Amino acid sequence: MKPLGKVLHVSKSKKLILKTSSPPPPVNTEVYDEKLNVVGIVYDIMGPVSSPYISVLVDKAGINPKTLVGRILYIKERRLRKRGKRRRV
């Protein structure tokens, strides 16, 4: 698990706004809390390249976005597929 960032606040459209210092993940990446429960997906990336803000769309209806303010959310690290050698024909 890789920390994504700390939840700063909830937007008017009920999306979580996070600040991260690491390179942002791709859009539609699943976001998890400390207990490895799926919170939502990365919806948008905005702000400066050096420290971007991430908007997370909360998926589950049972989760109140206001309870997540101040918490650190996580993403699973993706493994890159290794490509085999290209063969000459």
The domain total for the chain is 1
Residue 83 lies in a domain: no
* Per-10-residue mean pLDDT, the chain, length 89: 91 92 88 91 91 90 86 83 71
Residue 9 lies in a domain: yes
The predicted structure's pLDDT at residue 77 = 79
The predicted structure's pLDDT at residue 57 = 93
Residue 17: name the closest of 50, 57, 49 by CA: 57
Q: Which domain does 14 fall in, by range?
A: 2-75
Residue 11 lies in a domain: yes
The predicted structure's pLDDT at residue 80 = 66
Domain with residue 26: its CATH number is 2.40.10.230
Residue 52 lies in a domain: yes
Residue 80 lies in a domain: no
Residue 29 lies in a domain: yes
The predicted structure's pLDDT at residue 76 = 87
Residue 70 lies in a domain: yes
Dump the DSSP string for 22-39.
SPPPPTT-EEE-TT--EE
Retrieve residue 78's tokens. Answer: 């993706």
